[in-house]
Amino acid sequence: MYRTHHCNQLRKADIGTTAMLAGWVHVRRDHGGVIFIDLRDREGLTQVVFRPEENAEVAAQAHHLRSEDVIEVEGRISARLPGTENPKLPTGDIEILPDKLRVLNRADVLPFPLDAEVSNEDLRLSYRYFDLRRPQMTRNLRLRHRVTKATRDFLDEKGFVEIETPILSKSTPEGARDFLVPSRLIKGKFYALPQAPQQYKQLLMVGGIEKYFQIAKCFRDEDLRADRQPEFTQIDIEASFVTPDDIFLLVEGLLAALFRAGRGVEVPTPFPRLTHAQAMDEYGSDKPDRRFAMHLTDLGEIFQASAFKMFRGALDAGGAVKAINAKGFASLTIGQSDELTAMAKHYGAKGLAFIKVENGEWKSPIVKFFSDAEKEALRSKLLVEEGDLILFAADKWDVVCEVLGRLRTRIAEMQKLTAGSDQLDFLWVTDFPLMAFSAEENKWNAVHHPFTRPKAEDIDKLEAQNYREVRAEAYDVVLNGVELGGGSIRIHEPDLQAKIFAALGVSEEDQETLFGHLLRAFRLGAPPHGGIALGLDRIVMLICGEESIREVIAFPKNNRGIDLMSHSPTAVDARQLRDLGISLTGEKPV
């Protein structure tokens, strides 16, 4: 036995009893005579006092303790001397006076301090096992556990069954780049790690499971971001005989339960809904952050017959003129202005027209082209006031929305509009387009995935090959401008599925080799079904108030997919490659 109590347990009532504690030396205060140690375990701190007159031998031993040594102490729980109680600690009324001290493990000089902010993430990841001792990391991981458990409890309660699906699965060309795993038994062939358990969960529906979920590890071999790791965890859900409303209700309840468990807040439900078209039109984003307004305002009516060629021309060509009003941002710096202009051009605008409202004056190179009526219309429509910055875009509708949407979020960052906010703005974005044309590949691709069901009222447009107009029974759930997850109602009819594959340019031969099992399953009594996948890492990140999912993953990889602690990936033994029938081309590993 190492301990009888943890380090956040002993109180006044325990005075006079004996206890054993074990943990890490958090801080030592060695007065030459008396020595104080704050002993830490995951629950808290308890002060340990070594006094030479009580036990000279143990006190002598204690002089050699250093930060982060792991020790075990046994002794009497004593009241602190009157006036030396520490009200900052729950255990601040007592201390332990050990008559036994056992050093379980000594710590070398620490690579970095645990009680201070360390900005060198590289270093933290190299010593991740050490970094995890920081209270914030411990809190994040324990909170992640609460959220995961709440997921299981909630879905279990709703009758969902957790089922594991294969990690060694099959590569499909659609979607993200696969991680491949060579097969030894069948040389020259490869498994793929799942990008998502998509096909398996649909096949479970054909298998009559009706309500499935999984805390599923997913793998995508794409470039990393603050909120993207090559392996990540999804709360994967699928159900039979459901409509989108059934999924919305379930997920709203689930997310409310998770935020209750993780953050102790009540999330109002149901969540507001926006169609994809509305979201793009009003916010220029399919995952709008609505904690600030700055709506994209359509100015088509105002400039229909304008003398200003840039606006008039865009409208005559069937495009749009829109603007956002960045309230109080007329005072932006030259640098910020340059950045916004560069951004606008990067997303396809020819330039960035603006009006600064300063000292009652509209400062702008374009305002001289506006009639008085146009100015008045602008003022009332955009609620223009002193100090505002109005930014315009005139182009094709989708370019205008994209440009202003990007500017909108960047300006909000510059103005720190959401800094320190604890607001939780959940919403559904529905009616995504089913397909998007890829100019690069000169073909239509699935926006969500190829199993997504077109909306019934758009089937005729599908038949007419008017793909641009076809909307999907697909939906995303968004929180504060972050996509938490997305899903859809699936296709369960083999002929419709074949039609979609054809539209996506999947040959009949490929349909058979890649998806034959699914198409056959759809001929053996497949129930209508649909589901969703939620990014667990992102949910936990937002609950924790972190800005990177690396802060809520025990052993994450860095920007280049390297585990700095274990140094994976690594080269492998020539013999391992031979067993797999693999030979490397000339490129030397770094």
Partner RNA sequence: GGAGUCUUAGCUCAAUUGGUUAGAGCGCCGCCCUGUCACGGCGGAGGUUGCGGGUUCGAGCCCCGUAGACUCCGCCA
**Which residues are at the interface with RNA (CB under 7 A)?**
27, 29-34, 36, 38, 47, 49, 51-53, 66-67, 80-81, 84-86, 88-89, 92, 95, 109-113, 116-123, 125, 172, 174-177, 195-196, 198, 220, 222-228, 346, 440, 445-450, 548, 550, 558-560, 562, 590
The nearest distance, CB 361 to RNA, in angstroms, is 32
The nearest distance, CB 118 to RNA, in angstroms, is 5
Identify the three-state secondary structure at position 479: strand
The nearest distance, CB 113 to RNA, in angstroms, is 6
Q: Residue 292 or residue 451: which is nearer to RNA going by CB?
A: 451
Q: Residue 368 or residue 416: which is nearer to RNA going by CB?
A: 416
Place of tokens 């397909």: 435
Neighbours of 337 (CB within 10 A): 14
d(CA 242, CA 492): 12
| Bridge partners (DSSP) listed for residue 50 | 35
- Chain-centroid distance of CA 26 in Å reads 33
Cβ–Cβ under 8 Å, residues 337 and 345: no
d(CA 3, CA 70): 13
C-alpha closest to that of 489 among 164, 218, 241, 156: 241
Identify the three-state secondary structure at position 559: coil
The nearest distance, CB 157 to RNA, in angstroms, is 27
The nearest distance, CB 138 to RNA, in angstroms, is 19
The nearest distance, CB 41 to RNA, in angstroms, is 16
The nearest distance, CB 438 to RNA, in angstroms, is 8
Q: Residue 372 or residue 440: which is nearer to RNA going by CB?
A: 440
Helices vs strands, H then E, count in the chain: 17, 22
Q: Residue 573 or residue 587: which is nearer to RNA going by CB?
A: 587
The nearest distance, CB 141 to RNA, in angstroms, is 19
C-alpha closest to that of 115 among 131, 104, 126: 131
The nearest distance, CB 174 to RNA, in angstroms, is 4
Length of the chain: 590
Give the pair of three-digit tokens for residue 20. Answer: 């054993």
Q: Residue 376 or residue 413: which is nearer to RNA going by CB?
A: 413
Q: Residue 90 or residue 387: which is nearer to RNA going by CB?
A: 90
Q: Residue 66 or residue 578: which is nearer to RNA going by CB?
A: 66
Q: Residue 224 or residue 352: which is nearer to RNA going by CB?
A: 224
Neighbours of 162 (CB within 10 A): 14
Read off φ and ψ for residue 74, nearest 5 degrees: -135, 130
End-to-end CA distance of the chain: 48
Q: Residue 16 or residue 264: which is nearer to RNA going by CB?
A: 16
- Gyration radius of the chain's alpha carbons: 30
Identify the three-state secondary structure at position 198: helix
Q: Residue 13 or residue 436: which is nearer to RNA going by CB?
A: 436
Q: Which residues of 277-312 are buried (b: 16+ CB within 10 A; e: fewer)?
A: bebbbbbbbbbbbbebebbbbbbeebbeebebebbb
Neighbours of 195 (CB within 10 A): 21
The nearest distance, CB 288 to RNA, in angstroms, is 14
